[in-house]
Chains A and B, each alone.
Chain A
Amino acid sequence: MPIKKLSFTAIAVGVMALSGAALAQEKTSIQAIEEYREMLQDGNPAELFEAKGEELWKKPRGPKNASLEKCDLGKGPGVVKGAFVELPRYFKDTGKVQDLESRLVTCMSTLQGIDPKEVINGQWGRGERANTTALATWIGAQSKGMAFNLPQSNPQERTMYEVGKRLFFQRGGAHDFACASCHGEEGKRIRLQDLPLLTKAPGDGVGFAAWPAYRVSNGQMWSMQHRLNDCYRQQRFPEPDFASDVTVALGVYLGVNAKGNKSAVPTIKR
C-alpha cells in the first residue's frame, strides 16, 4: 500500500529532524563552553603559580638552606624538562614508585630539611602544601606539549599499575561509587563538565594531561593530588592521605593509560 508507506517515511523524516535539532543545540552549548575556556586560557592565572614554583625551585630554603636544583625527578639531578610526562615512576633511592608531588616531598625533605609532615598533614592551598602545588605547576609546565610516556620496566611500576586499575574499579562508600562510575564510559558529564573516559588514552590535554589546573570558580590552583583527593570526597569515600600509595597507584594507572597524549599543563578549569 503506497499511502501507508508514504506516511511512515514522513514520520521517519520527522524523527530525524528532531534528533538533528537536539544534536545541533548540544553542540552549540559545548562550543560556547569551549569558547569561554579559550578566552580564559589567555591570561590563565596558573602563570602566577608557575612563577612562584620557579622561584621555590631555585631559592635556597628550609633548615638546610638549599635549593631544589639538585632534585632528581627521574631524569637525573636538576633535569626538569620532560620529567612530568614520565611520572609517576620508580625511584631507586627511596625504593618506591612516586608521583611528582610525593617526589617533591622527598626532595624538600632530603635537600632542604623540610619536614614531610608539613606537606602531608597540611591543608590544601596553605603553607608547604601550597608550595608543593606551585612547584608541580612550574615543573609540569616545562613539559607542555610533550607526550606522556610513563616507564613500566620496573616490576614495582607494573604492580602499581595493577593496583591503580583495581582501585579505579573498586566500588564503595555511601553511594557505592567507583572512579569508573563517572570515568568508565564515553560521553558522561557532571553539570557542564565533560568527564573523560580514563580507561584508555582520553586525548591531548584531557584527564591526566590537564592537571595541575587553575579553577576559576574558587581561584585555586589544583594539583593531581588535589584532583584525586576531591574525586574520592565526591564519591563519599574517606579522603586518601596526601601522596599515599593509593593516589600514586591511581596516578600510574591514569598516566600509563594516557600514553601518547600531549600534556597541556597548566590548564584552566571552570
Chain B
Amino acid sequence: MADPMRIRAQAAGDKATVRVLMSHEMESGQRKDASGKLVPAWHISDVTASLNGKPVFSCEWGPAVSKNPFLQFNVKGAKAGDKVSVTWKDNKGDTRTDEATVS
C-alpha cells in the first residue's frame, strides 16, 4: 500500500494553486543493484486531478521524474471549499488517491 500524498490547494483570485507531494520510489530502470542486476523500472505513469469530481488535469510521467516527486499546477475557477482530488497510477498497477479542500 502506497503512502499518502500531501496536497495543499490555495485559492487566489479566480484560480487555485495546487501543490502535491507524492511518496514514490520512482526507480528509473537504468540502475543496477549491488550484484550487477538491473533494478526494474518502477515509477508513476499517470497522474490525474479533479475538482469536485470533474477532471481538470492529467499527465503521463516517465522514469525521468525524481523520487518523491513534487507537482504544482493552477486550476481556474476553483474557490475555497472546493474539493481537489489527485490520483497517481504506477507501472506496476499500484494506485493512490488523496483529496484536499481548497483554502
Contact = CB atoms under 8 A, between A and B. Distances in A.
A45 B3 contact: no
B70 interface: yes
A219 interface: yes
B76 interface: no
Nearest to A50: B6
A48 B23 contact: yes
A177 B37 CA distance: 36
Contacts of B70: 43, 45
A52 interface: yes
Nearest to A52: B3
Contacts of A51: 3-4, 6
A93 interface: no
A52 B4 CA distance: 9
A47 interface: yes
A154 B4 CA distance: 42
Contact of B6 (A47, A216, A219): A47
Contacts of B67: 45, 219
Main secondary structure of the interface of A (DSSP, over half): loop
B58 interface: no
A26 interface: no
Interface string A224-249: 00000000000000000000000000
A52 B66 CA distance: 20
B66 A48 contact: no
Count class of interface residues, chain A: under 10
Interface string B1-24: 001101000000000000101010
Interface in A1-52: 42-43, 45, 47-48, 51-52
Contacts of B19: 42-43
B72 interface: yes
A51 B4 CA distance: 8
B66 A219 contact: yes
Contacts of A45: 21, 23, 67-68, 70
Contacts of B21: 43, 45, 47-48
A42 B3 CA distance: 20
Nearest to B66: A219
> Which among A43, A52, A216 has the highest number of chain B CB atoms within 10 Å?
A43
A240 B73 CA distance: 45
A45 B23 CA distance: 8
A48 B3 contact: yes
A48 B68 CA distance: 8
Contacts of B26: 219
Nearest to B23: A48
Contacts of A52: 3
A48 B21 CA distance: 8
19 contacts: A43-B70, A43-B72, A45-B21, A45-B23, A45-B67, A45-B68, A45-B70, A47-B21, A48-B3, A48-B6, A48-B21, A48-B68, A51-B6, A52-B3, A216-B66, A219-B26, A219-B66, A219-B67, A219-B68
Q: Which 8 A-B pairs have the closest CB atoms?
A: A219-B67, A43-B70, A45-B68, A48-B23, A47-B6, A43-B21, A43-B19, A47-B21
Interface of B: 3-4, 6, 19, 21, 23, 26, 66-68, 70, 72
Interface of A: 42-43, 45, 47-48, 51-52, 216, 219
